C-alpha cells in the first residue's frame, strides 16, 4: 500500500465525461489499496471566464474579492468529482483549501504556501476516505481565500504530497510526460523516462509549460517523487497501476538517473524583448540603480550583458524582459535617466530565448561550442548568451526559433537516443 497524491488539470476535467474518466483513474488506485488524495483544477476555460467577469465588473478590482471569485472554479470541480466517485462506490469527500487548511501569505492573486498540517488529510486516509481538494487556493493571514497564481494547482498538489509524506505525486495533464523538446516543433522529440529536479526546474522556467515553476521548486526542496502522466490514457490499460514505474516521466533526484545524458532537452521562450542602455557611466552601484527599480516595478529581467568601453569610463548594458513589459520598463528607465546618466535607450521586441539543458554538461566540455557552430551553420545570429552549470541560453531573432530548436535537438542526438 502506498500514499499517492493525484492532480488533474483543467483539460482533464473539462466536462462531466472527462470527470468520469478522472474518477476511473482515482478508483484504480483506491482498488489497489492505496491511500489517495486528489487535487483538481477548474474546468478548462472556467478560470478565464471568471477573471473576465471580475474585470468587467471593475477593471481596478479588489484582489481579495478577485480571489473569492476565481477560487470558485476549483470548488465546483472538486464537488463534481466527489459526487462522481461516490456514484462509483468510492468513499470520497470534497474539501476546499481553507478547510485543510492550506495556509498562505497575504499576496492575493499570487500567494505562496506557508504551511500545511498533514494531520487533517492523514485522518481522512485512516477513515478510508479519498479527499478531493480544490487546488490553486488556501487561506491567508486575513482569514480570506488566497489564490496561488495561474498553474497553482500543481503547487497545491506537490505541497500536499510533502505534507502527508506521500510516496509519489502524480500530475495528470494533457500530455503523457516531459519531452526532449516541444513535439509540435520537432516531431522527433522523445518522451523522457526520468528527469532530475534541477533539469525540470530549468525547463519549466525557460519555457516548458508542463509544470508550474514553483511546483518543481517545492518538489526539489522536499524531494517529492513526481510523475507527469496523461489523464487521457485508458485508466485500465496494462501498467497504469504500476506503483514504481507508471507510464509517464518521473521527476526525481539526480542519483536515481543511472545513465545521465550530456543534454536532456531544448526549451524555448518566445516574445522576449531586448533593451540596451548606451554609454552608461561605469561606476559602483550603477547596476543596482538600474535593476532595483525594474524589480520594484515587477519587471522580470532575464539575460544581462555588459560591455565596458576601451577607456573603462563607460559601459553598454543590455538585458531582456518579456515583450509585454517593454513599455513599462522604458518608462522606469526614462525616470532614471538623470540619476543613471546614459546617452540613449534602445529596445527591440520579437526575440526568442532558446536553451540547452542537461546535468551532464557539468562534466563535458564543448557543449556550448557545439551549439554555437550548429546555429552558425544555419546562419542564425546570436544576440546574447547566458550560462549556468546545467544550461546555456541563447537569444535569437524570433523568426528563427523553430529552426534553432530543431537544429539543436538534432546536433545533440536527442532525436536518436
What are the residue ranges spanned by the domains of the chain?
3-255, 265-411
9 is in an annotated binding site: yes
Region of 98 on the Ramachandran plot (φ > 0 left; ψ -120 to 50 alpha; else beta): alpha
Pick the CATH number of 265-411 from 3.50.50.60, 3.40.50.2300, 3.30.2130.10, 3.40.640.10: 3.30.2130.10
8 is in an annotated binding site: yes
DSSP character for 12? G
Q: Taking the domain 3-255, which CATH number applies?
A: 3.40.1160.10
Tell me the C-alpha to C-alpha distance, in Å, between residue 38 and each of 18, 61, 203, 341, 416. Answer: 15, 32, 25, 55, 37
Q: What is the pLDDT of residue 157?
A: 97
10 is in an annotated binding site: yes
* pLDDT beneath 50: ranges in the chain: none
Q: What is the pLDDT of residue 310?
A: 67
Per-residue exposure over 158-169, b if at least 16 CB sit within 10 Å of its own CB, e if not: bbbbbbbebbbb
Pairing of strands 265-281, 314-322: antiparallel
209 is in an annotated binding site: yes
Cell numbers that stand for 388 in this block: 549556468
Tell me the C-alpha to C-alpha distance, in Å, between residue 186 and each of 181, 236, 338, 372, 378. Answer: 7, 30, 48, 20, 16
210 is in an annotated binding site: yes
Q: What is the pLDDT of residue 77?
A: 98
Indicate the burial class of 394 (C-beta count within 10 angstroms; 0-12, 13-18, 19 or more). Answer: buried
67 is in an annotated binding site: no
H/E element holding 110? Answer: none
Q: What is the pLDDT of residue 120?
A: 95
Count of CA atoms in the C-beta half-sphere (13 A) of 17 = 1
Cα angle: 354, vertex 358, 361; to 5 degrees: 110
51 is in an annotated binding site: no
Nearest to 6 by CA among 39, 33, 48: 39
> Quick check: helix, strand or coil at residue 301?
coil
Amino acid at each position: 500500500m502506498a500514499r499517492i497524491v493525484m492532480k488533474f488539470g483543467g483539460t482533464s476535467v473539462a466536462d462531466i465525461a472527462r470527470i468520469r474518466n478522472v474518477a476511473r483513474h482515482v478508483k484504480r488506485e483506491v482498488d489497489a489499496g492505496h491511500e489517495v488524495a486528489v487535487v483538481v483544477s477548474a474546468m478548462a476555460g472556467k478560470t478565464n471566464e471568471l477573471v473576465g467577469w471580475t474585470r468587467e465588473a471593475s477593471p481596478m478590482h479588489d484582489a481579495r474579492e478577485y480571489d473569492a471569485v476565481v477560487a470558485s472554479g476549483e470548488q465546483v470541480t472538486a464537488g463534481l468529482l466527489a459526487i462522481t466517485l461516490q456514484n462509483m462506490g468510492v468513499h470520497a469527500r470534497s474539501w476546499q483549501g481553507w478547510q485543510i487548511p492550506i495556509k498562505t501569505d497575504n499576496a492575493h492573486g499570487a500567494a505562496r504556501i506557508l504551511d500545511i498540517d498533514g494531520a487533517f488529510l492523514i485522518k481522512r486516509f485512516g477513515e478510508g476516505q479519498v479527499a478531493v481538494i480544490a487546488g490553486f487556493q488556501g487561506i491567508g493571514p486575513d482569514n480570506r481565500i488566497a489564490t496561488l497564481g495561474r498553474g497553482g494547482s500543481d503547487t497545491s498538489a506537490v505541497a500536499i504530497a510533502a505534507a502527508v509524506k506521500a510516496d509519489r505525486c502524480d500530475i495528470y495533464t494533457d500530455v503523457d510526460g516531459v519531452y526532449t523538446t516541444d513535439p509540435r516543433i520537432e516531431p522527433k522529440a522523445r518522451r523522457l523516462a526520468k528527469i532530475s529536479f534541477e533539469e525540470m526546474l530549468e525547463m519549466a522556467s525557460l519555457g516548458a509549460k508542463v509544470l508550474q515553476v514553483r511546483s518543481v521548486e517545492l518538489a526539489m526542496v522536499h524531494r517529492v517523487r513526481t510523475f507527469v502522466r496523461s489523464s487521457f490514457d485508458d485508466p485500465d490499460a496494462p501498467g497504469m497501476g504500476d506503483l514504481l514505474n507508471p507510464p509517464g516521466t518521473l521527476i526525481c533526484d539526480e542519483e536515481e538517473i543511472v545513465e545521465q545524458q550530456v543534454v536532456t532537452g531544448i526549451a524555448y521562450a518566445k516574445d522576449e524583448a531586448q533593451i540596451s542602455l548606451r554609454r552608461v557611466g561605469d561606476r559602483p552601484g550603477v547596476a543596482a540603480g538600474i535593476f532595483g527599480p525594474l524589480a520594484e516595478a515587477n519587471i522580470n529581467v532575464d539575460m544581462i550583458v555588459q560591455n565596458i568601453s576601451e577607456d573603462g569610463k563607460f559601459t553598454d548594458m543590455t538585458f531582456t524582459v518579456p515583450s509585454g513589459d517593454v513599455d513599462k520598463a522604458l518608462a522606469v528607465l526614462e525616470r532614471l535617466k538623470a540619476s543613471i546618466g546614459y546617452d540613449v535607450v534602445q529596445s527591440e521586441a520579437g526575440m526568442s530565448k532558446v536553451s540547452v539543458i542537461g546535468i551532464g554538461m557539468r562534466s563535458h566540455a564543448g557543449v556550448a561550442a557545439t551549439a554555437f557552430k550548429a546555429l552558425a551553420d544555419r546562419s542564425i545570429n546570436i544576440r546574447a548568451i547566458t550560462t549556468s552549470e546545467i544550461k546555456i541560453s541563447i537569444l535569437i531573432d524570433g523568426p528563427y526559433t523553430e529552426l534553432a530548436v530543431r537544429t539543436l535537438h538534432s546536433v545533440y542526438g536527442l532525436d536518436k537516443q
